[in-house]
Structure formats: structure tokens, C-alpha cells
């Protein structure tokens, strides 16, 4: 399901999800850069939000989650290379779902971090085309 999202045709990320955790990997492309040659902030946000989201979603089997709020800290610019976002679930309760993520460059340096709150949506996971274990939900 994750790979079938139209936006992921552009970013071509890889995803691994386990209980309470998620890993997103993506190779920086020239098209991801801003005019000064650094990685555009939208890439930081996408990778951090996706990693935190799927760490949270690993505990929710029935409904899609939605991001309610997400705070991003951009710590270092990167012009190229493989990026790795590691997300982890912090809190999962009926009224509050919190997850956080860290973003690393190829050398293992932290280049960004973020944390967010998530909520259950009314959309059933099984209603999505492409639902299955290869998509990060099993």
C-alpha cells in the first residue's frame, strides 16, 4: 500500500515495519534539491513523518491513521546519498498516539528529527487497493 501511493513514484522509498518501529530509506536525487543545492525541507518532513506514521500504524490494524501535528527539526544539509529515517512509537492509547523519528545520512550523522501526534481516521485499512503484507501492514 505504501509503495502504491502516487507520491512514492517520485521519491521511490523503501520501507520496513516492525512492532512499534519503521525504517524508511531513500536515495537523494538531484530533483530533491532546492536552488542552493541542498536537500529541500519537504524531503526531511516526508521521511520523518512516514517513519513515525508507520511506527504508530504498526499497532493499528483496522483504521488508517492521520497525522494531526508534526514538528520537524532540520539539523544538517545533505546534497546526495542514501537517507535513513528510523521511527518509533512512543505512546499508543485511545486518546493519544505519539511517535518520533530520526533521519540519518549515509555516514550515520543525524540530519533531522521529528515527532508527531496521530489519530484514527474513519477509513478502514482493508478498503485500500493494494493492501497486504508487502506494503508495511501484515
**Average pLDDT score over residue span 48-63:** 96
**Average pLDDT score over residue span 36-62:** 91
For 36-109, strand residue ranges (E) read 63-74, 81-93, 96-104
**Domain residue ranges of the chain, discontinuous segments joined by +:** 6-125
Residue 25 DSSP SS3? strand
User: What average pLDDT does the structure give for the chain?
Assistant: 87
Q: Which fold has domain 6-125?
A: Thiol Ester Dehydrase; Chain A (3.10.129)
Cell numbers 489519530 correspond to what residue? 119
Instruction: Return the percent helix, strand and coil in the chain, to nearest 5.
Output: 25, 45, 30
Could you report the per-residue pLDDT of 79-129, keeping only the tens digit for each?
Answer: 788 999 999 999 999 889 999 999 999 999 999 999 999 999 999 988 865
Residues 6 or more apart from 17 whose CB is under 8 A from it? 23, 54, 55, 57, 58, 136, 137
Amino acid at each position: 500500500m505504501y509503495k502504491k501511493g502516487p507520491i512514492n513514484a517520485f521519491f521511490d522509498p523503501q520501507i520496513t515495519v516492525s512492532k512499534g518501529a519503521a525504517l524508511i530509506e531513500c536515495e537523494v536525487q538531484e530533483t530533491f534539491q532546492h536552488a542552493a543545492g541542498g536537500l529541500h525541507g519537504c524531503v526531511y518532513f516526508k521521511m520523518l513523518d512516514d517513519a513515525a506514521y508507520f511506527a504508530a500504524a504498526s499497532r493499528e490494524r483496522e483504521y488508517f491513521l492521520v497525522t494531526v501535528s508534526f514538528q520537524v527539526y532540520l539539523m544538517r544539509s545533505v546534497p546526495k546519498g542514501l537517507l535513513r529515517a528510523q521511527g518509533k512509537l512512543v505512546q499508543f492509547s485511545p486518546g493519544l498516539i505519539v511517535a518520533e523519528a530520526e533521519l540519518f545520512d549515509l555516514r550515520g550523522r543525524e540530519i533531522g528529527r521529528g515527532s508527531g501526534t496521530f489519530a484514527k481516521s474513519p477509513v478502514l485499512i482493508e478498503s485500500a487497493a493494494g493492501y497486504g503484507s508487502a506494503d508495511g501492514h501484515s
